[in-house]
Structure 1
Amino acid sequence: MADSVSKTIYLQTILELTYGQSREQVANNQIAEHLHVTPSSVSNMMAKLQESGEVDVEPYYGVTLTPKGKHAALRLTRIHRLMEVFFSEKLNLSPTNAYTNAVHFDHNADDELLTALDAFLNHPKTCPHGLPIPTANYEYEITAHRNLSDLPEGTKFTILGFNEDAELLEYLQLMGITIASTWTFTGRMPFSGPLVIENSDSKEQLQISEHAAHYIYTN
């Protein structure tokens, strides 16, 4: 992965993990888990981002986005998610393919393309996997939600969104779990096993790993 692309993805990841709150700290191990990289890779990139003035690093506690870093992350996230919408709605790519292809384009888009794409798509509010798209003024509000892994047994819920992760999106696509679908959390399998959820329409039951459930957002 090239440094410029890595920087793009790291900034977007920090923004997502802090829910857009500049003062929220993110631990290196959270970033490493999210991006499937080693903690040492995160430490190296955080040093580069701190040198460029885009993050503040507090040893043993985590990192926060600076105003410069947050602006860059919001712009990159806006471009990325608008491209996802375009690939999904206009080119009929799956949400997984839309995500992976957008990664290759988002860091090169200029403001003229961004404005035109937003207008062409009629100013979408969310990307194909349910996450908010920053506005043209770089306002960013994440809808209040809960993680599937935190729901009490017996809860009926609607899927609001998924974490930006190609492996997760592919996994959920294979499982047939989609945005706006409604389910009931019926319980967990023994010995810290997966979560069991039942579709409200088809009554089909699925088993979802605890790790995946942590990155599935519900009402």
Structure 2
Amino acid sequence: MSESISKTQYLQTILELSSGDETTKISNNQIAEHLNVTPSSVSNMLAKLQEAGEVDVVPYYGVTLTEPGRQTALRLIRSHRLIETFGATKLGLSISEAHFNADNLDHDADVEFVDALERFLDFPKYSPHGLLIPDANFNYEQEKLRTLREAKDLETVTLNSFTEDLELLQYVETVGLELGTTWTIKERLPFDGPLVLSDGSRDVQVTQHAADFIFIND
């Protein structure tokens, strides 16, 4: 992975974890967990991004994006999610396959291509895994949602969206979780074990870690 791609992925991650809220500070541990990197790697990259004027780091509190950093993140997210949508809706790819290929194309797509792709797709609002697509003016007001882990025992929930992570998308496909489906939290297994979900016909176990990146409707 080149350094330029790495930097933009960090910016994208900060924006996504904050749900677009410019005031929400994101911790190094949150970023490390999301990107599957070490906290020291996060610290090193945030130092570079701060020097470049793309993030503001407040020691012990977290990081926020500057306006230049936010614009870079929004451009990447818009490109990525439109390419994902094309792959899933027009090419018949699974969500994880569409995501994987978008990761390899989104950084090189110019504005004219992305705008043309949006028109071709008839201006979709959400990506195949339920995340908001910034419009051509980079408007982005992602609603704040609860995670699956935050659901109460015996609560019935509807799956709203999945975080943009290849392993997570492959995981939900493997266990058979789809957006818009409704599940009841039957129980939580001991020792920080998985959540047991039921749709009335079958049970599915979802790890606590995965549940942090699956969002539900209130």
Shorter-chain TM-score range? over 0.9
- SS of corresponding position for 2:80: helix
* Aligned CA-pair RMSD: 1.0
Cα distance, 1:44 vs. partner?
A: 1.4
1:208 to 203, 206, 209: 206
Assess if the C-alpha contact under 8 Å between 1:147 and 1:216 holds in 2. yes
The correspondence of residues 89-104 of structure 1 with structure 2, limited to 5 A, is 89-104=89-104
Structure 1 segments of 4+ aligned residues over 4 angstroms from their partners: none
Answer whether contact 1:195 1:207 (CA < 8 A) is retained: yes
Report the number of matched residues. Answer: 217
Aligned partners of 1:192 and 1:63: how far apart in 2?
29
- The residue that corresponds to 1:52 in the other structure is 52
Q: CA deviation at 1:191?
A: 2.8
Is contact 2:19–2:143 with CA below 8 Å preserved after alignment?
A: no
Give the unaligned 5+ runs of structure 1: none
Q: Determine if contact 2:54/2:65 at 8 Å carries over to the other structure.
A: yes
Match in the other structure for 1:41 = 41
Q: How does 1:59-138 map to 2 (within 5 A)?
A: 59-138=59-138
TM-score (norm 2): 0.96
The normalised TM-score by structure 1 is 0.96
* 189-198 or 5-14, larger mean C-alpha shift: 189-198
In the alignment, structure 2 segments of 5+ residues that lack a partner are none
Deviation at residue 192 of structure 1 after TM alignment = 2.5
1:22 and 1:67 in contact (8 A); partners too: no
Report the Cα distance in structure 2 between the residues aligned to 1:136 and 1:27, rounded to whole angstroms.
29
Distance 2:67 2:143 in 1: 22
Deviation string, structure 1 residues 51-90 (Cα, Å, up to 9, x no partner): 1111011122211100111111111111110010011111
- Distance in 1 (CA, whole Å) between partners of 2:42 and 2:135 is 29
Letter matched to residue 205 of structure 1: D
Identity fraction in percent: 53
| 1:196 matched residue in structure 2 | 196
* Partners of 1:181 and 1:103 in 2: CA distance: 27
The Cα offsets for residues 22-74 of structure 1, whole Å up to 9 and x where unpaired, read as 12111111101000011111111111111111101112221110011111111
